Amino acid sequence: MAMSDVLPSALAGADQYVSAYRWMLLARRMEEKISSLYHAGKIVGGVYLGRGQEAFSAALGVSLRRRKDVFSPLIRDMAGRLAFGEPLLDPARTYLGSVLGPMRGRDGNIHRGRPAEGMPAMISHLGSMVSVVCGMLVARRFRGDVEAVGAACIGDGATSTGSFHEAVNLAAVEKLPLVIAVANNQFAYSTPTDRQFACADLVDRAIGYGIDGHRVDGTDLAECLEVFGRAVARARAGQGPQLVVGRLLRLTGHGAHDDANYVPEALKQTELGRDCLERARQHLLDHGLATVAELEQWDREAVHEVQLAVATAQKDPVPEAAGEDWRALSSF
Amino acid sequence: MALTYLEAIREALTRALRDDPTVFIYGQDVATFGGAFKATKNLSRDFPGRVLDAPISEDAMLGMAIGAAIEGMRPIVEMQFADFSSIAFNQIVNQAATHFWRTGVTCPLVVRLPSGGTPGSGPFHSQMMESIYAHYPGLVVLTPATVGDAYSMLLEAVALDDPVIFCEHKFLYYHLKDEALPEESLPIGKARIARMGRHATVVTYSAMVHESLRAAADLAAEGYEIEVIDLRSVKPIDSDTVLASVARTGRLLCVGESFPWGGVCAEVIARVVADGFNLLDAPPQRLNAKDTPIPYHPNLWAAHRPTAATIAESLRRLLRF
Ligand SMILES: Cc1ncc(C[n+]2csc(CCOP(=O)(O)OP(=O)(O)O)c2C)c(N)n1
């Protein structure tokens, strides 16, 4: 099944807000399910969750055109992936090792993608995907497609890699329509930002690269939509790379295995620790964009969709070693 | 019209750009300047917009090429020196090499590595990287030794849907000449018998083919006929041609310019021992560079890598066994 084209991508205003909220909700429910499957021993390999980062991720996803643009997710971008058009069956199948998933059991969990549809399949090595998005944009430029925008998601920790620096500089030199979305969730695994970098704000690095920088409250969906909308529009208009840095907090362990006891309680009580999903829900009610009944209905629908996807994937065939060709080359 | 190994590479690049609009060249100083070794001289003039200067960012250069390749382009990346591809190692072995296997989407790119030693180049401008890259599934690794192969294998590399590590030998760039470019050639994956013989087999590739041929000529004067096999491509590797030769000669020496620990020579010997133990009249031998970084001074450098003289010496020992 290809990534769905059901929803038009460039929704405006309230529609876009509602759309993003529903992707956030679906991602949250899906990840809760994946997490419980993990703790029940039903998942092989690691589980990394985007709890607390859904607004930042989904806002980027809905700001892009499905299939036409490039969206390169990282480990906390379930919401952005779904918003960009990844079918819910993809994570279900990949986490459960189904042979029918996009990775066919050859790779797992977050390392899934549909590169032919504008969503590269991340490798683990942090920082490595940014330059790949650059290449996908260069290819589009060669083809005469000057409309396409590419977005690369990344965490605060991965901004310390040489790979990240090389890629952002390259994008700046080539003036590529690249949006670099840095989710500064204050920790890289257990390492706080003051052991990661010494600049006052990561967004200041944009000056050094000669590109635009934007900072945003990553717990506020409306602000995320506005900032990503602007960044994507500027990239599309030929203004070159856009560095967007979101302030937020990872509301979960690094992985499902991690209790994150190193995150100070006081930090969780700050503005950074607000749950973006709760905030968005309140926003919908406050602005009359949804009733309590509607919110409950959407939630039920999300839960149902998740159950359906997981149930389907659980019935799928798993890969059989005898059926593998064990070939890594296409030519030989 | 005599043509050098380097000119053959330039001819192949020209033809690739001319015949396939999805081909582009990316590397440091490759555009107006024409590359550190002038492999891309005039190409940016003749193919505007398709020969792009890269920042000094090997990791990002490869990442960019990978992104373009999975979108259907056929990038050719020039590393200024093979040695610097270590910076791009992650992108090559983890991203390019795994992509088709993981996703089913091919990643057709060529990384040109100006490889191997020249006197005075020292530890960081002399390395042979074929053994390292051949270790990883998902890469094709080519080591042309002749002008004709430099041309035809580069064209074939560009046409392949897999990522190709193209190890050009810098020592051959200007010295090695041929009269004309080949009309046809052996396919990638087939070794070539560079010299026929019956007393011992030398399996080698790249610049060491020429050292081995000189050694074989010396041994001929002593009454020994040495067969020299040029692997051409170290991955895929043509074990059949090697085994058939060892079946005729009973003796095997593998010669490589890369470091001695593991690598292509070890691989060839392992295969021959496993699949042709009964063919051997003597323990198979290998001769590589020494197990130190590559020395700068020509006197040391000449003693660090295998030469016709040390190859001949190894052969004499092998023949005496
Ligand atoms: C090059 C590299 N080094 C180390 C790791 C191991 N690792 C995986 S996730 C992670 C932390 C990443 O932190 P950050 O970039 O801030 O993203 P976050 O997990 O906070 O979303 C580390 C160290 C890796 N995947 N890649």
Divide the 332 residues of chain A into consecutive groups of 10 and give the mean pLDDT of each group: 47 89 98 97 92 98 97 98 98 96 94 97 97 98 97 98 98 98 97 95 98 98 98 98 98 95 96 98 97 98 98 96 92 94
3-state secondary structure of A245: strand
Residue-level pLDDT at A1: 47
Q: What dihedral do alpha carbons A304, A306, A312, A318 form, nearest 10°? A: -160
Residue-level pLDDT at A11: 57
Instruction: List the 59-98 stretch of B: residues with Cβ below 8 A of A.
Output: 59-73, 75, 87, 90-91, 94-95, 97-98
Among 2.40.30.10, 3.40.50.300, 3.40.50.970, 3.30.390.30, what is the CATH number of A11-314?
3.40.50.970
Q: Are strands B110-115 and B74-78 parallel, antiparallel or unpaired?
A: parallel
Domain assignments of chain B as residue spans, ordered by start: 3-178, 192-320
3-state secondary structure of A230: helix
CB contact, 8 Å: B105 with chain A?
yes
Cα A236 to the center of its chain, rounded Å: 20
Question: Who's near B206: CB < 8 A, 6+ residues apart?
Answer: B115, B116, B128, B130, B143, B144, B145, B167, B169, B172, B257
Highest CATH level, class, for B192-320: alpha beta
CB contact, 8 Å: A139 with chain B?
yes
Q: Can B125 be counted among the known catalytic residues?
A: yes
Contact B95 A330 (CB under 8 A): no
Within 10 angstroms of residue B135's Cβ, the number of other Cβ atoms is 15
What sign does the dihedral B294-B298-B303-B308 (CA atoms) show?
positive
Helix (H) or strand (E) holding B76: strand B74-78
Nearest CB to B24 within list A115, A140, A142: A142
For B25-106, where are the alpha helices, taking DSSP H only?
43-46, 58-70, 89-90, 97-103
Best mutation target, B59, B92, B105, B110, to test chain A (most A CBs within 10 A): B59
Whether A74 contacts A188, CB under 8 Å? no
Residue-level pLDDT at B275: 98
Q: How far apart are CA A331 and CA B14, in angstroms?
A: 24
The model's pLDDT over A118-147, given as tens digits with 9 standing for 90+, comes to: 999 999 999 999 999 999 999 999 999 999
Q: Which residues of B touch A106 (CB under 8 A)?
A: 101-102
CB contact, 8 Å: A208 with chain B?
no
Q: Look at the pTM and tell me if it is higher than 0.80.
A: yes
Contact A331 B162 (CB under 8 A): yes
Q: How far apart are CA A248 and CA A270, in angstroms?
A: 10
Residue-level pLDDT at A44: 81
Q: Which residues of B touch A3 (CB under 8 A)?
A: none
Do B3-178 and B192-320 fold alike per CATH? Answer: yes
- Spans of chain B, pLDDT less than 50: none
Highest CATH level, class, for B3-178: alpha beta
Nearest CB to A131 within list B22, B64, B160: B64
Cα A154 to the center of its chain, rounded Å: 9
Whether B202 contacts B226, CB under 8 Å? yes
Q: How far apart are CA B304 and CA A234, in angstroms?
A: 56
